[in-house]
Amino acid sequence: MSEKPEPAIIIDEAHEDFAQHIESGSGRIRMLSVLTLIVSVLLLASYFSQLLLPFVTGQTTVTVNLVDPSLLVFEGLIIILTFAWLYVGAVNYLFSTRLGRQVKQARAKEEEIEKRITGPR
């Protein structure tokens, strides 16, 4: 006759697995967010420099007309997309930071409850 584990034990183990999964995922999300922020800032700086270069240097033509309205509109759209990418990276980073903090708080409360249940050692 095999003993079935108590439902509370099964729930506790599932909770622990879930918490570990969240902790490991949070670190990956944070790293991807940092990389996204770095790339988007570099792209943004590059696009802004290309947009401002003809106005700052006075050089309006190389092989193409750098103040061509269609080119300026295209560069503006690229800048808008880059800002969107920057926003998504920042929001993901903030989310993963909050998530990590909340998991740490939950772990601390979990330990506190465990100490109350088992008593001082």
37-55 pLDDT per residue, tens = 888 888 889 888 888 988 9
Q: What is the pLDDT of residue 17?
A: 77
- Look at residue 33 and tell me if it is in a domain: yes
- Look at residue 41 and tell me if it is in a domain: yes
- Look at residue 3 and tell me if it is in a domain: no
- Look at residue 62 and tell me if it is in a domain: yes
Query: If you average pLDDT over every residue of the chain, what do you get?
Result: 81
Integer Cα distance of 52 and 118 in angstroms: 67
Higher per-residue pLDDT: 30 or 69: 69
Calculate Rg over the CA atoms of the chain.
26
Q: How confident is the model at residue 120 (pLDDT cuts 50, 70, 90)?
A: low
- Look at residue 103 and tell me if it is in a domain: yes
Nearest to 89 by CA among 39, 22, 48, 26: 39
- Look at residue 88 and tell me if it is in a domain: yes
Q: How confident is the model at residue 1 (pLDDT cuts 50, 70, 90)?
A: very low
**What average pLDDT score do residues 53-61 get?**
86
pLDDT surpassing 80 at residue 85:
yes
Q: What is the pLDDT of residue 56?
A: 92
Residue 6: what are its φ and ψ, rounded to 5°?
Answer: -65, 145
pLDDT surpassing 60 at residue 98:
yes
- Look at residue 116 and tell me if it is in a domain: no
What's the 3-state SS for the chain?
CCCCCCHHHHHHHHHHHHHHHHHHHHHHHHHHHHHHHHHHHHHHHHHHHHHHHHHHHCCCECCCECCCHHHHHHHHHHHHHHHHHHHHHHHHHHHHHHHHHHHHHHHHHHHHHHHHHHCCC
- Look at residue 114 and tell me if it is in a domain: no
pTM of the model: 0.57
Domains identified in the chain, total number: 1
Show the domain range for 66: 11-107
